[in-house]
Chains A and B, each alone.
Chain A
Amino acid sequence: MVSAVENRSRLHPHKFLLWIGIASIVMMFAGLTSAYVVKRSFANWMEFSLPKVFWVSTAVILVSSLTMHLSVKSFKAHERKKYRTLITVTAALGVLFAILQLYGFTELHEQGIQIFGVGSNASASFLGIITGLHVLHVLGGVIALLITFFRAYRTKVKRYDATPIEMVATYWHFVDILWIYLFIFFSLT
């Protein structure tokens, strides 16, 4: 069905929705990290170092943000082939990020740190849940990228509109910044 919307603002309403949605996601992570800080002051808190592979995954997601940025630029410059390549690379880096995060938890497990189940500690469980939720958000971005990717291969283009790819890019940069925040947060606390 066609949307029944007219608007007078220069900002696309769907972009506006995305920004408010991002604010909402920020509040969820703020709630979780605040809970982490509160719980940290209680007894039975275990200290451990973050897996080293998280440094690599941080680099991967930073690079993916760069490729995302370049893909938007190439879309706007009508360089379709370059755009498709960059979108593919970004999605692949997103998946690689998720794999590296999972690898990080395997590393923790090998060190004897339980994330869930009997013998787990809230500090490790928090790390598992918060980074796990972040990975889910990244994978949501990957799905959006895949949809954009397949759209890029359509031969018939009714309208050359940068709005969807700009929105995906905004979201992608957001999950990138969110991870940087989480990484610094866990490193410092």
Chain B
Amino acid sequence: MSSEAVLHPGVAVAHTEGHHDVHHHKQSFITKYIFSQDHKIIGKQFLITGIIWAVLGGLMSVLFRLQLGFPDTTFPWLETILGKWGKGGHISQEAYYSLTTIHGTVMIFFVLTAGLSGTFANFLIPLQIGARDMASPFMNMLSYWFFFAASIIMLSSFFVQTGPFAGGWTAYPPLSALGEASPGSQTGMDLWLASLILFVVSQLLGGLNYISTVLNMRTKGMSMTRLPLSTWGVFLQAILGVLSFPVLFSGFILLIFDRHFGTSFYLSDIYIQGVGALPHEGGNAILYQHLFWFLGHPEVYIAILPAFGIVSEVMSTNARKPIFGYSAMVMSMFAIVILAFLVWAHHMFVSGMNPFLGSIFVLLTLLIAVPSSIKVFNWLTTLWRGNIRFTPAMLFCIGFVSVFISGGLTGIWLGNSAIDIHIHDTYFVIAHFHLVMGVASMFGMFCGVYHWFPKMFGRMMNSTLGSIHFWITIVGAYLIFWPMHYEGLAGMPRRYYDYSSWESFKQFIELNKFISICAIITFFAQFLFLFNFFHSIFKGRKLTSKNPWKSNALEWTTPINPGHGNWPGEIPEVHRWPYDYSKDGHDFIPQTVPVGEEDKMDEQV
């Protein structure tokens, strides 16, 4: 411990002489692996739960893609498996809307938010900044268990008689506010709300920890300008989350009161056949949209900022080059965070917005293209003339840049209100956000898992399987989402259960069949990853070196299987930024090597 350190009573007293659970704490199985307060275990808990949700969410998409790809075909096995949901061999309408709703909800919140940022923020922050653990390990543990409870509640909505919520992942009123709107608007919606409220609490507990740990717990020498970009990514996403999730929370509170306590925030005097006029007066659903999208748009960046950081880190390491434009990378992420709060209304261009106000939101939305382009330019220049190692992590890293460019460019179309009004709520939107946010963030997640798996489990994943997984996934992703742009431009609307009933959309039957087949193949290709992941945990090649990727970052200075407290002795001091690759005749120079002592490095690494 540094002599400069100021230790706070009750926080660090027991650990001034170095911390390692092997020496200090006797832990039971439950305190070590279940109710663990070790950030690394919590990170793995988020990862495993996120993977389970990704499989379930992906499976839901396979089921509703069956309906979209084969609207006239009967699959008797569907009835065997799904019962009333698959009556007559078809996914029922209610089931279709529930599946699309819960697919969107869990993929965005439970997989791309909790699964991605929960995993890597927890696992990486203390290791990369040189801290024993998070600022509050107890709150950190709670953040996982709130997420777990949210997961159980969301899952339980599949087992209530009226089914899960079916009004779309945005839960717009009146479908969400009115129990009579659809079967899923009854108990299913209450469970959806309860689950999401617990999820928000989880995100807030986690986010508070990430921010205060990064700002307050860095080791000696670890200035903010020496932070690895992966830590910058999760740190900035935490700021976004902590400031935007409470607004969603306030929107949910008003929704609960409209649903159960007779208030009129969103509901108005709607007439329902067989029931009569509602007793509500003067409510307006647009109010909900404002509150929802104030989180909803930053949520896009909450999902992708960790991926930005992970990709930057992995790219520099595997290109054996310093990241190009470190400061520009950080500043562009800052710019994205600020702009993320100022663009929510571009989701509401068709809600009757004043055209002048719409123009302001167009301008602010298009401004995001500037920092995004800076990042893309820097990634490409980092790759340029690099000594690239095509590990699975690096492949997903390059794949990320590819899909981020492809999906990002269509954002320019959607950010323009004049064009957006034409393609709003069409498959163009689906294609855009799946590529730029869904696939890109998933690629960031895969990239991170392949790269930090050795640090997590002390073993290597199989790189051949990883490469096959990458190629099927990227080809599959493009084959699924590229054609959707054309469907959208031709006006094919999203959310329709049976588009083939409309003469104008019948032309897309063959194309949709193709998309569905690609989606099914791509989904099942993910089992290669699952097999590789779980098999490697137990049977993967054991690490012989603690730094298999020859990386500069601090996490690779811990033992192969670090205990709670991360470093057995003193926390190492940092002397340089983490991107000194191919410099002064050295392939890499770890952050712990003092400037001028590069030649003595071999003794320290």
Contact = CB atoms under 8 A, between A and B. Distances in A.
Interface of A: 1-14, 16-17, 20-21, 23-25, 27-32, 34-35, 38-39, 42-45, 116-122, 125-126, 129, 133, 159, 161, 163
Contacts of B25: 1-2
Contacts of A161: 9-10
Interface of B: 1-2, 4-12, 14-16, 19, 24-25, 31, 37-38, 131-139, 204, 207-209, 211-213, 215-220, 242-251, 253-254, 257, 261-265, 279, 281-284, 287, 290-291, 294, 564-565, 571
A137 B529 CA distance: 46
Contact of A24 (B220, B242, B263): B242
B564 A163 contact: no
A127 B296 CA distance: 26
Given A31-B251, A39-B287, A4 B282 contact: no
B246 A5 contact: no
Contact of A28 (B211, B249, B261, B265): B249
Contact of B243 (A6, A16, A27, A129): A27
Given A7-B7, A20-B207, A116-B261, 18 more contacts: A2-B25, A3-B137, A5-B131, A7-B8, A10-B6, A13-B135, A14-B11, A16-B215, A31-B249, A35-B287, A38-B287, A38-B290, A42-B284, A117-B262, A121-B281, A122-B264, A122-B265, A159-B10
B564 A4 contact: yes
Contact of B15 (A6, A35, A42): A6
Contacts of B287: 35, 38-39, 42
A64 B11 CA distance: 30
Contact of A3 (B11, B24, B220, B253): B11
Contacts of A24: 204, 207-208, 242-243, 245-246
Nearest to B31: A1
22 contacts: A1-B37, A3-B12, A3-B137, A4-B37, A4-B564, A6-B5, A6-B19, A6-B571, A7-B12, A8-B217, A21-B208, A29-B250, A32-B250, A35-B251, A38-B290, A39-B265, A39-B284, A42-B284, A44-B264, A116-B261, A122-B283, A125-B263
A3 B13 CA distance: 9
A116 B262 contact: yes
Contacts of A13: 8, 11, 135-136, 212-213, 216-217
A169 B208 CA distance: 19
A161 B7 CA distance: 13
A27 B282 contact: no
Contact of B282 (A6, A10, A122): A122
Contact of B279 (A12, A23, A118): A118
A17 B204 contact: no
A17 B37 CA distance: 17
B13 to A, nearest CB: 8
A28 B11 contact: no
B37 A5 contact: no
A29 B251 CA distance: 11
Contacts of A9: 6, 215-217
B8 A12 contact: yes
Contact of B16 (A6, A20, A35): A6
A121 B262 CA distance: 10
Nearest to B16: A6
Contacts of A32: 250, 253-254
A15 to B, nearest CB: 9
A39 B268 CA distance: 13
- Ranked nearest first, the 9 interchain pairs of A and B with the lowest CB-CB distance are A44-B282, A31-B247, A28-B246, A13-B135, A31-B250, A16-B212, A4-B133, A117-B262, A27-B246
A63 B139 CA distance: 32
A5 B216 CA distance: 11
A10 to B, nearest CB: 6
B282 A45 contact: yes
Contacts of A25: 246
A129 B37 contact: no
A36 to B, nearest CB: 10
B19 A4 contact: yes
Interface core residue of B15, B212, B215, B253 (most chain A CB under 10 Å): B212
A114 to B, nearest CB: 9
A129 B207 CA distance: 26
B316 to A, nearest CB: 27
